[in-house]
Amino acid sequence: MKKALLGVLAVIFVCSGLAIAGEGNWSGFYFGLNAGLARHEPNWSDNGYDWFGGTLTNPYCTFLPGVAVGFNIQNGSIVFGLEADAAIGFTENVTEYSYYYWGTPQFDVTKTDKLGFLATLRGRVGFAVDNALFYMTAGAGLPSAAHTWIEDDDVPDSWQTFHNSKLGMVVGLGFEHRLGQKFAIKVEYLHFANLPVVQPNAQTHPYYMSVDEKVGILRLGFNILF
């Protein structure tokens, strides 16, 4: 992630230098493609003290390509905008635990987490300098994250696949540079977080686990301007 951030800063530096080449008006609609690295942090809480009685976090990274559509309105050097985007994740993170009682292994647990989808709807406000646009963004996000908790020797005390699709908040920063009148490139960082979903297991008198999602995204994008 540090190397990726240094690369992004290099892009910003080069594009900032190119920005003096000409002036651009950011008003209008746009459509874009983007891709980057997402750090998914699913936070598991054992609400019923069934297994560990606390919170487990096993963050991992996944490639996250997506599409975006939006529009801008420029007034002087200030640019206001609205953007909707959707991205797909591919990586399933698998974590294994073993439970010991007085030094004797009792059973194993296999936990999986996967961020399959994340869509956002965000407002943007920025400052334009010729062909460069520096902006802040905030809005709502809708994830689809799949989770399992399988106890090998105690299947009823397991959590089969369940999903967290609760709305959350998104905030971020970005830089965009026009390439002529019809195209632009951008670099953007977003942070998403939502409230936990509470899930019972399959027992007659179930225990409950809750999971919330935190996602940090660093990505590059290419926009077509209309």
**Mean pLDDT of all residues in 177-194:** 97
Look at residue 33 in the predicted model and tell me its pLDDT. 98
Q: Is a pLDDT exceeding 70 seen at residue 19?
A: no
Least Cα distance to 136 among 144, 145, 127 occurs for 127
Look at residue 105 in the predicted model and tell me its pLDDT. 67
CB 145 within 8 Å of CB 213: yes
The dihedral through the CA atoms of 119, 216, 16, 132 has a sign that is: positive
Q: In Å, what is the CA distance from 21 to each residue of 11, 18, 131, 180, 182?
A: 16, 6, 8, 10, 15
Look at residue 196 in the predicted model and tell me its pLDDT. 95
Q: Is a pLDDT exceeding 90 seen at residue 107?
A: no
**Mean pLDDT of all residues in 38-59:** 89
Q: What are phi and psi of 104, to 5 degrees?
A: -105, 125
Q: Domains, the chain, ranges and CATH?
A: 2-225 (2.40.160.20)
When computed from its CA atoms, the radius of gyration of the chain, rounded to whole angstroms, is 22
- The model carries a pTM of 0.84
Q: Is a pLDDT exceeding 70 seen at residue 21?
A: no
Looking up tokens 């030094």 gives 103
Query: What is the full DSSP assignment across 121-168?
Result: EEEEEEEEETTEEEEEEEEEEEEEEEEEEEETT-GGGSEEEEEE---E
